[in-house]
Amino acid sequence: MIDALLPYEEGDTYEHSVLVTADTMRKYLEVSGDANPLHRDPAYAARHGFQANVVYGNFLGAMVSHVVGMKLPTKEVLLIRQSLDFRMPAYVGEEVRLKATVTGISKAVRTVALKLSFHSSSGNEVCTGQCLVRLL
């Protein structure tokens, strides 16, 4: 059996970008059931000090799932822990880019740790975090 940890090295990076449109938000609403007006009503968002509708925070979590399931060099993976710290809002109409960087590899428990950084097309770091991936 080939060791699934072989293709991973500390410092490796994996990226994923999404242009968040009104249609993206509608689809996320259908799945999540989160109809909070902050995400749907521009006037409501403006009354509460935001430039536009705010992207769902857990949409960023779904971007992590995409990187783990589709961008890593092996598909024999399972996301076992994820932590996100929302620093600034990302807005509908912006592109959000996730950069995931390998920060640790444990051969003993067959895990890879990733540092997460999300930037919006306006240049802001909107979210940071980390996740742990188990190799099957």
Instruction: Kindly list the domain boundaries of the chain, sorted by start residue.
Output: 13-21+56-135
Report the pLDDT value the prediction gives residue 130, as an integer from 0 to 100: 98
26-58 residue pLDDT tens? 999 999 999 999 999 999 999 999 999 999 999
Tell me how far CA of residue 59 lies from CA of 3, 31, 32, 40, 98, in angstroms. 32, 11, 10, 14, 12
For domain 13-21+56-135, the CATH class is alpha beta
Average pLDDT for the chain: 96
Task: Identify whether the C-beta of residue 86 lies closer than 8 Å to the C-beta of residue 126.
Answer: yes
Q: Sign of dihedral through CA atoms 136, 58, 33, 26?
A: negative
- Predicted structure pTM score: 0.94
53-66 residue pLDDT tens? 999 999 999 999 99
Cα angle 128-134-136, degrees, rounded to a multiple of 5 = 150
Residue 2's pLDDT band, with cuts at 50, 70 and 90, is low
Report the pLDDT value the prediction gives residue 1, as an integer from 0 to 100: 45
